[in-house]
């Protein structure tokens, strides 16, 4: 899906919807599947996802998935309440979740984004 960068609050909402819909085990499977397919580019921006925008369970799922796919950002220290990942990966994960969620679970904005992406707009 072409990326339309979401705000951290919007990404947090996507994660909440996905957690509610898929449950923790299935969400972890989806995140590992998505994240494992991403390219690792050099010299890119990083995001720090934390409990400020995500619930603890989602943050733990991201930490487990990050460990499973080896998607660590070099030269960044691990912090218990923060997941550091490439900004592009954070955006692509949110886009991937939007693409996999049923339309009935999406907000109006996310439905519009998904339809636009499906039609290449």
**pLDDT tens readout for residues 11-49:** 999 999 999 999 999 999 999 999 999 987 766 789 999
C-alpha radius of gyration, the chain, whole number: 14
Q: Structure tokens of 10?
A: 């919007």
**pLDDT tens readout for residues 70-87:** 998 888 888 889 999 999
> Residue for token digits 């989602």?
58
d(CA 58, CA 54): 6
Q: Output the CA torsion 23→20→10→98 (10° steps).
A: 60
Across the range 43-65, mean pLDDT stands at: 91
Position 43 scores a pLDDT of: 65
pTM value?
0.87
Position 80 scores a pLDDT of: 85
């Amino acid at each position: 899906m072409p990326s339309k960068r979401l705000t951290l609050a919007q990404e947090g909402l996507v994660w909440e919807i996905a957690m509610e819909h898929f449950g923790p085990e299935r969400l972890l499977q989806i995140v590992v599947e998505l994240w494992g397919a991403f390219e690792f580019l050099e010299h890119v921006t990083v995001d720090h996802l934390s409990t400020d925008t995500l619930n603890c369970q989602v943050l733990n799922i991201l930490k487990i998935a990050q460990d499973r796919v080896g998607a660590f950002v070099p030269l960044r220290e691990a912090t218990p309440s923060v997941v550091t990942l490439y900004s592009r990966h954070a955006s692509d994960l949110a886009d991937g979740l939007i693409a996999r969620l049923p339309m009935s679970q999406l907000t109006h904005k996310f439905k519009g984004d998904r339809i636009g992406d499906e039609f290449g707009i």
